[in-house]
Amino acid sequence: MTVSARRSLLAISIASLLLPVLASAATPSRPWMNTSLTPDQRADLVLGQMTQEEKFRIIRADFGQEHDGIAAPVGALGSAGYTPGIERLGIPAIQETDAGLGVTRPGADKTGAIGLPAGTATAASFDTAIAYAGGAMIGGEARSKGFNVLLAGGVNLVRDPRNGRNFEYAGEDPLLAGTMAGYTVRGVQDQKVVSTVKHYVLNDLESGRNTLSADIDPVALRESDLLAFQIAVHTGDPGSVMCSYNRVNGKYTCEDEWLLNGVLKGEWGFKGYVMSDWGSVHSAAPSALAGLDQESAGEVFDKQVFFDAPLREAVKKGEVPQSRLDNMAHRILRTMFAKGVIDDPVVPRKARYAEDRLVAQKAAEAGAVLLKNEKALLPIARSVRSVAVIGGHADKGVLSGGGSSAVLDVEGSPVEGLMPQGWPGPMRFHPSAPLTTIKALAKGKVSYDSGTDIAAAAKAAAGADVAVVFVTQWAAESFDHADMALDGNQDALIAAVAKANPRTVVVLETNGAVRMPWLNDVGAVMEAWYPGSGGGAAIGRLLFGEVTPSGHLPMSWPKDESQLPRAKVQGAGLGSKAAPADRVDYTIEGADVGYRWFEKTKREPLFPFGFGLSYTTFAYSDFETSVDASGKPVARFTLRNTGKTTGADVPQLYVTAPGATARLAGWRKVWLKPGESQRVEIAADPLALARFDTKGNRWRVAAGAYSVRVGSSATKSEGQATVTIPESVLP
């Protein structure tokens, strides 16, 4: 069959699925299409007409593409998960695609997509509008390609810089991570595409992730990783939550009744459905009874399809009540109604890739963090006679993280043949070359050296007014780095270039914190993360001051591994043959993750959480505090731009309860013109004040004297006071 014939058949298949849905609104026999009814009422009406076979079919998704010679399901768009529609009831097929940084499946148009910068970059923006816009962009692209479920919303906390999936997430603080992920989910679902929040919960390492038990005190879990999910679920109202691979305190999350039924659905009131990660189901009845509603691609990734024959038998025997099966189907249908998937079914259309690339570029500009800038080396003056650009394939593009979230740019990957080619690769770059923008903005000569020959690179740097060294550190799903060192000879490259030219700028494209033995020898350092499809243009504009850096670190930057709660990650390293740990002890730091760990152990990080430089300067004055009628501390102060460039600062509110470590309680991102000032008010989020009371199973704010301070990072205070807070219980 020719390619054109296949596409024609696919178009017919899509049309056949959509036509009954489009016609269903005018059919009196389908009362569930009455939009004045609630999603729950509509789901119940459909459920009343479903056969037992249809109920069992909607609770499992097949792998939607060819695998090991097995053809893709008819009607699937090469999706990560596919559930056929129910034509007689007007229920469309479920077409799922990875992931949180962009659409990774080709879909109906058989092309690549636009990739957002890393989730850590979005978190570093400290800007919910950036998070929302990114979510809306990738949600819109998913919809344009024919997908109606996007596996986005990564909110696992960064507990270790060596974790291979940190780039998908939103940092180490639960308030920041949950808020930013929640706004991303909002953006996705406003495009009438269902979004997940994942990976629930404590999937904070990749080594041995399928069997590893993440062990932690339940209260510490409540006040850290679970709190991040609680905030994300409350903020974003996701249609689905994805349970993770790992165990928590010995029990697999997808069959943990306390996590799924008790906390998520019971306490938090989550009305959507719980889907499994691909390969995370280990049982039928225990999983269903614990709260798992849909099994994902079990025929490929699980030992068997547990939610088919085994669950049918469990229902037949009465081990799983019929009411539970009905509830599983109800939750999926309710989400489809609530998020617009049924009322406004996806119709593949031409994506707006050029506009979307600008969204990605703006996010990269907002999230890049300027870590060092001696003698105002940056921005690079237009008057410099020569700039030597070195390394990192900066002449071709910018690095992307790997695994299921790796987006193939719509214009392809400009750097081919990099290893690994197999899973979790292939290693990819986005075709947005920093060199192109640097050449366009510089008036003087711009040269490029690959950096593969250190002596040649040093020679090129010595002959230039400014040297810009690009370094990359690839990370991906399914493995962790064994240490924090840069790959290959990149440390030696930076050292040699800096020795040849003290006016050296280092641009990092990394998963997060790395060792920096050359830090004192270079003039400037910028963390660009994995900067996405607009990353090259963003980096060039930042280097030349077309836009002022405004990102702040969403995680602490350790000096080296010795400052971490665990010196080693057992079994880490791509292709490692060493056995991973069976259990990881998170009781070491508990809820004191990141900056709280550094405070608790009285250690000084290389760069603290919340840190970020600008091309301008800011001054704080007239600090004052009060406690509002609900018992929340409120800080007020005047922020003034004392420099010569328009820029943004991110004042952060930290609250310290008696005998505890400081917690981020709020923030504002404030843009000011030179000389401009603004009176800023930040009210503390009540969850940042509260401790979880296990006896009352509730969040409780203890009465007492609390330290309240505003700072430009977790360690720099710009105003501090003590306030007395009355006891309260959060609803």
pLDDT digit string, tens, across residues 633-659: 999 999 999 999 999 999 999 999 999
pLDDT digit string, tens, across residues 254-269: 999 999 999 999 999 9
Q: Is residue 423 part of a domain?
A: no
- Of 338, 365, 381, the one marking the end of a domain is 338
Q: How far apart are CA 254 and CA 210, in angstroms?
A: 12
- Classify 282 as helix, strand or coil: coil
pLDDT digit string, tens, across residues 715-728: 999 999 999 999 99
Residue 688 predicted with pLDDT over 50? yes
The predicted model gives 303-314 an average pLDDT of: 98
Query: What are the CA-CA distances from residue 200 to residues 247, 277, 422 (Å)?
Result: 10, 9, 27
CB contact at 8 A, 555 and 594: yes
Residue 25's pLDDT band, with cuts at 50, 70 and 90, is low
Q: Is residue 382 part of a domain?
A: no
pLDDT of residue 69: 84
pLDDT digit string, tens, across residues 529-576: 999 999 999 999 999 999 999 999 999 999 999 999 999 999 999 999
Full residue range of the structural domain in which residue 691 is found = 618-729
Q: How far apart are CA 259 and CA 290, in angstroms?
A: 8
- Of 338, 355, 378, the one marking the end of a domain is 338
Q: Mean pLDDT in the chain?
A: 95
Structural domain count of the chain = 2
Which of 17-21, 398-402, 414-418, 514-518 is the least confident region? Answer: 17-21
Q: How far apart are CA 663 and CA 677, in angstroms?
A: 27
pLDDT digit string, tens, across residues 226-245: 999 999 999 999 999 999 99
Nearest to 130 by CA among 682, 538, 638: 538
Q: In the numeric block, which tokens belong to residue 458?
A: 């040093």
Neighbouring CB atoms inside 10 A of 629's CB total: 5
Residue 22 predicted with pLDDT over 70? no
Nearest to 528 by CA among 516, 539, 515, 540: 539
pLDDT of residue 14: 46
Q: Is residue 374 part of a domain?
A: no
Q: Is residue 173 part of a domain?
A: yes
Which of 69-73, 434-438, 665-669, 671-675 is the least confident region? Answer: 69-73
CB contact at 8 A, 686 and 678: no
Q: In the numeric block, which tokens belong to residue 43?
A: 């789901």
Could you tell me the CATH number of the domain that includes residue 314? 3.20.20.300
Q: How far apart are CA 33 and CA 647, in angstroms?
A: 50
Nearest to 186 by CA among 114, 137, 113, 117: 137
Residue 19 predicted with pLDDT over 70? no
Residue 299 predicted with pLDDT over 70? yes
Query: What are the CA-CA distances from residue 476 to residues 204, 424, 586 (Å)?
Result: 13, 6, 22
What is the dihedral sign for C-alpha 17, 21, 22, 23? positive
pLDDT digit string, tens, across residues 411-429: 999 999 999 999 999 999 9
pLDDT of residue 27: 67
pLDDT of residue 26: 38
The predicted model gives 108-120 an average pLDDT of: 96
Q: Is residue 171 part of a domain?
A: yes
Residue 17's pLDDT band, with cuts at 50, 70 and 90, is very low
Q: Is residue 675 part of a domain?
A: yes
pLDDT of residue 68: 87
pLDDT of residue 516: 98
Q: How much is the pTM? A: 0.95
Could you tell me the CATH number of the domain that includes residue 647? 2.60.40.10
Q: Is residue 364 part of a domain?
A: no
- Residue recorded with tokens 């010595």: 462
pLDDT digit string, tens, across residues 360-400: 999 999 999 999 999 999 999 988 999 999 999 999 999 99
Q: Is residue 195 part of a domain?
A: yes
- Of 318, 338, 358, the one marking the end of a domain is 338
Annotate 371-391 with three-state secondary structure: EEEHHHCCCCCCCCCEEEEEC
pLDDT digit string, tens, across residues 148-185: 999 999 999 999 999 999 999 999 999 999 999 999 99
